Amino acid sequence: MRAFKTLAVLAATTALTACVTPHSGNDGMYALPIGDAPVTANPTAYTPALDCLHSYAASNQVAAPRIAVGRILDYTGSVSEEGGRRITQGASLMAMSAFNKAGARLVERFDTSVTELELRYANNRLIGQEGDENVRRIYAGQMPGSDYYFVGGITELNYNIRSMGVDAQGGHTDARDGVGNLGGRLYVMNIALDFRLIDTRTLEVVDVISYQKQIIGRELRAGVFSFFDDTIVDIAAGERALEPVQLAVRAGVERAVVEVMSRFYNATDSGVCASAIQAEGDPMGPATTQTAANVSPATAAIEQARANPDAWNARRDNNFTGLRGRS
């Protein structure tokens, strides 16, 4: 019997290692990678609002401004234990994608290294072109300027704002009759983002937007320990899930872009696109705004729209009604 068990263990070990060999195959690889998930789109809850604004502007012939996106940096300074930043360094690229979804006319100001090199080569008559002229010419005013530029940063990353958990264990007083355990935890963290919209010609700050988003994580586990004759059985299972932190950054960026473009399109509330996005609430939650008494009605309407928890969002997580964020 013991020899049979030993043989079974050896067979299982061999089966597990048969997928990897120290010699490459005819295709030049030691092993085939696992996983076959296709590449998919990466929307947030605010993507339908951006798409709707684009359609609204096109159908009403509303001219979109030229927008340049500057550096949106991580100012939290948070570093993971393995090294590297915990927060994405690509928020500027997220903002460019969001402005494009909303129909803005983008001009490149983030990475102009190739353009500057080409202009230098063209100025030295080193770049040729097809046609009658054998060198590329540089003309005055050939590059369009931006009307506004969008900058900002990720300013907060707060861990474990609140957490809760429960653990239970039970069984017979005689451990041979079995013991079981069950546990679970919930915890909440958040990020915050601050943005500025600046008039390129005058450097006047025409809009300031600040948002925070809470992120929820959960952990579930269960196990059982028991004896069956001369055999010990110890089984445990669990599951952990954390709402993607980087996706929360993208959602915050897209929410800010919705606010910016809705002002340019003169659509300051979700009623314009309610039929398209079926707004059911905003996981960002109500914003806290302080409005002076002499603020214009238009500005007051914009601030009221930003504080509305039911604006510009396509869905809400109904499982955690007391928490902002989705599981």
In this prediction, residues 244-253 reach a mean pLDDT of 93
CA-to-CA distance for 279 and 312, rounded, in angstroms?
6
| Residue 159 CB contacts under 8 Å (≥ 6 apart), including other chains | 189
Asked if residue 322 has pLDDT above 60, the reply is: no
CA-to-CA distance for 42 and 76, rounded, in angstroms?
25
Q: Please state the domain extents for the chain.
A: 41-107+144-307
CA-to-CA distance for 4 and 12, rounded, in angstroms?
12
Question: What are φ and ψ of residue 159, in 5° steps?
Answer: -90, 145
**What stretches of 190-296 show up as alpha helix (H) in DSSP?**
245-264, 274-277
Strand partners, 166: 184
**Mean per-residue pLDDT of the chain:** 80
Residues of the chain by 3-state class (helix, strand, coil), percent to 5: 30, 30, 45
**136-193: pLDDT as tens digits:** 888 888 999 999 999 999 999 998 899 999 988 887 777 667 788 889 999 999 999 9
Strand partners, 238: 221
**9-43: pLDDT as tens digits:** 566 666 555 567 778 878 888 888 888 888 888 88
Q: Which of 50, 74, 35, 36 is nearest to 246 (CA)?
A: 74
Model pTM score? 0.76
For residue 306, the model assigns a pLDDT of 60
Task: Kindly indicate the confidence band of residue 284, based on its pLDDT and cuts at 50, 70 and 90.
Answer: very low
In the CATH scheme, what architecture does the domain 41-107+144-307 have?
3-Layer(aba) Sandwich (3.40)
For residue 227, the model assigns a pLDDT of 78
DSSP type of residue 85: B
Task: Kindly indicate the confidence band of residue 290, based on its pLDDT and cuts at 50, 70 and 90.
Answer: very low
CB 306 within 8 A of CB 211: no
Asked if residue 272 has pLDDT above 70, the reply is: no
Q: Which of 182, 185, 186 is nearest to 214 (CA)?
A: 186
Task: Kindly indicate the confidence band of residue 287, based on its pLDDT and cuts at 50, 70 and 90.
Answer: very low
Give residue for tokens 């020899």.
Answer: 3
- Which of 53-67, 174-188, 210-224, 286-300 comes out lowest in average pLDDT? 286-300
Give me the count of residues in the chain.
327
**69-127: pLDDT as tens digits:** 999 999 998 888 887 889 999 999 999 999 999 999 999 999 999 999 999 999 998 98
